[in-house]
Amino acid sequence: MALITIFCYILFVLAAIVLIVVILLQEGRGGGFGEALGSHGRETFGVGSRGINTFTAVTAGVFLGSALLIHVLNRHQQGGSVLDESPSATEIPAPPSPQVPGTTPPTGG
């Protein structure tokens, strides 16, 4: 099980790095990092940029899928969540009873 988790983490980090680079290379309204590459950037990611958009969508899907798989595997290994456990009644201390000056505390008898 640990080998699958390690593979998912590696896939997650690689997808994140690829997404960062690909998104920076895409041309937005005001240009982008593709403009900094000069004419090569315009030729690669110019008018026919359908391929890069599809690649970005697939990479984003891999990123989200690996994130969900990491979450499921970690939750399965730990056996649940911290929120699943509720404190028992013996763990909660009773608040001290207020005492009025000049009175005696009540006895148990």
Q: What is the pLDDT of residue 61?
A: 95
Structural domain including 60 reads 2-79
Which pTM value belongs to this model? 0.55
Residue 88: pLDDT above 90?
no
Give the range with max mean pLDDT: 34-38, 66-70, 77-81, 87-91: 66-70
In a domain, 31, yes or no: yes
In a domain, 10, yes or no: yes
Give the range with max mean pLDDT: 1-5, 18-22, 91-95: 18-22
Q: What average pLDDT does the segment 6-24 reach?
A: 93
Give 47-86 pLDDT, tens digit per residue.
Answer: 556 788 889 999 999 999 999 999 998 887 776 566 666 6
How many independent structural domains does the chain possess?
Answer: 1
Q: What is the pLDDT of residue 86?
A: 64
Looking at the DSSP assignment, which residues form a beta bridge with residue 28? Answer: 31
In a domain, 54, yes or no: yes
- Residue 11, judged by CB atoms within 10 A of its CB (0-12, 13-18, 19+), counts as middle
In a domain, 96, yes or no: no
Average pLDDT, the chain: 76
Helices within 1-109 (DSSP H only): 2-25, 33-36, 39-44, 50-78
In a domain, 68, yes or no: yes
In a domain, 50, yes or no: yes
Q: What is the pLDDT of residue 18?
A: 95
Residue 45, CA distances (Å) to 10, 16, 57 in order: 28, 20, 15
In a domain, 62, yes or no: yes
In a domain, 49, yes or no: yes
